[in-house]
Amino acid sequence: MTSTRETELRARAAQLDAAHAATDLRTRFLLPEGVVYLDGNSLGALPAGVPAAVEDAVRRQWGRDLIASWNSHGWWQAPERVGDRLAPLLGAAAGQVLVGESTTVRLHQALHAAARMRPAGDVLVVDPASFPTDLYVSAGVAEQVGWQVVECSPDELAGTLADLGSQGRSVAAVSMSHVDFRTGRLWDLPTITAQAHAAGALAVWDLCHSAGAVPVDLDAHDVDLAVGCGYKFLNGGPGAPAFLYVAHRHLAAFSNVLPGWHGHAEPFAMHAGYSPAPGVGRARIGTTPLLSLLALEAALAVFDGVDVRAVRARSLSLTAYLREAIETLVPGTRFASPALDEQRGSQVSVVHPHAYGVVQALIARGVIGDFRTPDVVRLGVAAPYLTHGQMLEAATALAQVLAQGEHLDPAYAERPTVT
């Protein structure tokens, strides 16, 4: 790369950062010095308000007010309250989002509810490239309710549904991930949802890699059910609770496969028989880990006064610039992530035969991404706390790692169990 091109890249980074200054939310986070953090699509950074909120929950609410906090501090209402706070980021009206449990549990509930709402259906369509948990849950639920699982890529869904229809099969649900966790491919949620509905199926979405980063507009696109985690782009912390979305039109028919006393219409009456609570509260199970839930509630404050569409605009600029800088500094780079804005989530994925070593060498230089088997260097771009200047730092570090062979260090030859 010529020095002129280097100068141009630096100048463009500065210009782009100035243009997107309104969505630079770094002051709302506690970020470590000297680190370019590109793993927010796995674990979001720490929002500045979370430590104080957790300390208050521990010292004042739990420590001083003890069990009275279920009433005096609204612990009991927290799953629905936090759900309503999250709902605008998902394009959902209040009363349709519940927070608590894990994504695995929430998907299990959603698919079982879909089976009850489509009793004649005998097929579940899934994307084979989905996150493994989604596939495990899909297979497990299918075995329990008598579905056949049919796999197809989202861009092949229309043809697959037509073939199944010609065979006289009834599709109960189509379950897809909004963003491919390896490649960052953003799928067309409105079109896929409409295709599912045209086949008489329910549309069930996993929003783990889009919630908080990409406008989802669940209500506008008539999504039926959706799930997602709280610890990626929502920055809720390790193990943050997940969410479940149930469209208003389905709430009365939603059947909770895991009925617990928190989801009872009269939980403190201690009836022997189960009657579901009205509204989305019927999806509650048991006692939610309150410290994690309150941490997520505090984390969501980073989005106060910020439209998710503005976050998306910043993300598209950052990821496009990162890709450009990598292409310039490392000619011939293979990308797994799409070049087109409308097809790209909030990450840039690079393909390299020594991807694990590349990731570890980048981490040693203070650029934290992650590895996905077998050959993907995954660079997640959490737009609120990253800059175009940092994208150039990351691209420069990648070029230096490869030029100096740092990724071939024998220390990276054997991968640990957790990567």
Residues of the chain with pLDDT under 50: 1
Homologous superfamily assigned to 3-30+307-412:
Aspartate Aminotransferase, domain 1 (3.90.1150.10)
Q: Measuring CA to CA, how many Å separate 6 from each of 10, 149, 328, 386?
A: 6, 51, 9, 20
Per-residue model confidence (pLDDT) at position 413 = 87
Region 51-303: CATH code? 3.40.640.10
Nearest Cα neighbor of 288 from 239, 354, 357 is 239
pTM above 0.85, yes or no: yes
Q: Do the domains 51-303 and 3-30+307-412 match in fold? A: no
CA distance 321 to 336: 16
378 annotated active-site: yes
CA atoms of 185 and 149, how far apart (whole Å): 23
At residue 5, the pLDDT reads 82
Residue 1: the pLDDT is 45
Please report, for the chain, the start and end positions of each structural domain, with discontinuous segments joined by +: 3-30+307-412, 51-303
Segment 355-375, tens digit of pLDDT: 999 999 999 999 999 999 999
Backbone angle region of 197, left / alpha / beta, with phi > 0 → left and psi within -120 to 50 → alpha: alpha
Among 17, 84, 180, 206, the active-site one is: 206
pLDDT at 415: 76
Is 412 noted as a catalytic residue in this protein?
A: no
Question: Can you give the pLDDT at residue 247?
Answer: 98
Please identify which of the residues 39, 84, 118, 131 carries the catalytic annotation. Answer: 131
Active-site residue flag, 233: no
Q: Is 307 a catalytic residue?
A: no
Which position among 224, 372, 378, 385 bears the catalytic label?
378
Reading the block at residue 284, the tokens are 């509650």
* Candidates 231, 245, 371, 412; catalytic one: 231
Catalytic residue among 106, 232, 284, 323: 232
**Known catalytic membership, residue 372:** no
